[in-house]
Structure 1
Amino acid sequence: MIVDLPSTSTVAISKKLVALRQDTGAMALGRVLTLLIVVDEQDAEEAIQAANDASRQHPCRIIAVVIGNKRGQSRIDAQIRVGGDAGASEVVVLRLYGALTDHGRSVVIPLLLPDSPVVAWWPTDAPVHVAQDPIGSMAQRRITDAAESKSPRATLKSRAEAYTRGDTDLAWTRVTLWRGLLAAALDQPPFEPVIEATVTGGSDSPSTDLLAAWLALTLRCPVRRARSRTGTGMVSVRLERRSGAIDLVRPDGSIATLSQPGQPVRRISLARRATAECLADELRRLDPDEIYEETIRSGLAKVGTKTVTASEAVREGEAPSVKEAERASRRLARSASKASSAEMVQVPAPTPKADTAVVKKAAARKLAKTKATGTTAKAKAATKRAPKGGKA
């Protein structure tokens, strides 16, 4: 259900929410938090859809503050979405115009859920210091996305300088699976220290920078950043040890290969994470992320700004070859397909149904044969019973 309230006020919006609650049931009693989205008109629907998907794991009240034209008369155009149009949440879309675009905090305060946490999310451009933003100052967690900025590396640097406990970034959430796989690989023997590491990813990928910073901070070894073409995202990680290298390579953006000494190469599902999935991960915890804090404030400086191209890193033996990893992945896929085909159980073909005429003829022949056999047996028995010499 979608209810439009053009040129309205926060009082009218609150009354309408109460009326909808009475008509449709207690839709707000199971909400665990209030999610504030600050976005422009162009990206509003995509952000609201991602929040709806995330709310299926974390039911919440979503308040989207859509910044409209700052010129002209001040007004609020509101829209309330409940039921199937709001996922597991209730959505309040506030389109602000005129001077109200600078007073989003005053508009959303009357609509916050009482006695519940507040999370603020900027899907695209965010203030330099989100904790000092009027809306950000109300939130326990403040979520940004450096990948959506024009200069991701510069954005990460400014985020590090202006970091406040409770800040986080979806670029960090996107490398969660990579961090888990690398940690699991290092937990297996031989338990040797990592001598050096090389992280390869797109030149516009802040997730690659954060993963390199985390490795430099955690492993306390030199980490080299190799850049691939724009838009490729995370590509590969090589961890050098005395016994050999651990290579985690994702050549196609969905399937990765993990190779390490003494073990066969494995194919791993490592698809790029959707925004809704990353947002749901961040909504699971409302306390500050200490690992992210250490990574962005201390780890980035350990990596440095000097980078090499991915092809140069491969030629120097510092990074794994993406083409070789792709061939290995296809070879493993073919082997798995053949193995699964060999294990299939073949059902025998059903016996064809016999023709009725043929069955009748066979039955008649068998019956005739049985009768003939019976007649012969009776004749022999009568011959044996007849007296010899013609005596009666």
Structure 2
Amino acid sequence: MAPNDSADTNGTAATAATGAGRRKAVRYIVPVAVAGVAAATIGLVPALASSGDPDLPEITAQELIEKIAASDTEQLSGTVKISTDLGIPSMGGLAGSLVPDAGGKDGASADPQTKLTELVSGTHTLRVAADGPDKQRVSVLDQASEYSVIHNGDQVWAYDSKSNEVYHAEQSAADHAKRGERPAAPEGVPTTPKALAEQALKAADGSTSVTVDGTARVAGRDAYRLVLKPEQSGSTIGSITVAVDAENGVPLKFTLQPSSGGKAAVDAGFTSVDFKKPAASSFAFTPPKGAKVTEADEAGGHGKAEAEKAKGGLSAFEGTNVIGKGWNTIAEIKAPGGAALPSKDSADVPAEAQQFLDALGDKVTGKFGSGTVFKTRLVNALMTDDGRVYVGAVTKDALVKAADNAG
């Protein structure tokens, strides 16, 4: 594949809609999400295919992004392989300790809010299907079990075949938000290349070089390669490559390379895909005989009780201040009244959770005082001893500088 000249020489910019709503920090862990990822300067140099790749018509980066935005494909089914290497331990065994409602006698082990967070580490195979905005299914396949989330109209079902437990919600996420409860299905946990690509293309502010870098074959489909690279220093993101279906504009593969090099931090792509209408049975679900069924309202009530017990922990954080812009965006979160974070000697911190945090942390000092930087290959967080958190897809030095400047 022949790379194009940098988009910087063209000076053309495209702006996409900003932002999804922010969530409060999860107790004891820093959310692993790309904060403030932006697409910006759009190159006008067309793609050129080398001899081993599909020979497709020339297209500019501007035209390719417009093609993604204009895609009206709402029906598909297929298999997605997603590999995530953020440099953190597997979340599977820690979910019960780190996240309220993660299971146990009072929780719901089939709760999507908990189960799908396991996708932040390791390699997983997903079977997906969609038929418009009201019918979707995602199944995470394991060697001897399967976990599925089925959305059909106002019904959301989740089933864990390993534990034979079912999670059910009838109300929409908006209804739950009005009542101060969690939505039935998780937000901000992308499970397809399209969802990941949309996050990376949310905003354009001049901080990104965007080019078309040749063509590829993905899941038997011809595709163009859209490449985003930050122009700012200090980001932990090296580049994002999105393989876009040449016919319908659907992102087929998403690859995020960290600036530190090595294997991709996130690599998600279809291994097979069909754009025909899925069978109606794909979105039908009846709880198996003998399965334990937990209603969303029951799990929500348990979550409130856990939140009360968590006062003074990270779940009590509120009031987010955004520092910087583009790829170097840092979120500053302050604890009410400057409450300090739970210490390693605190009886309120589960041993597994403390082990997880200690494996990631580096002690740092600066004008701000002292604190600990928790590292992944992508998102880093500085937790100060006086109860502030600085988090972003930036380096340790960038976090310390932001804390120093914040006073």
Q: TM-score range by the shorter chain?
A: under 0.3
TM-score normalized by structure 1?
Answer: 0.26
The answer to which structure has the higher helix fraction is 1
Normalized per residue, the structure richer in strand is 2
TM-score by length of 2: 0.26
Rg larger for: 1
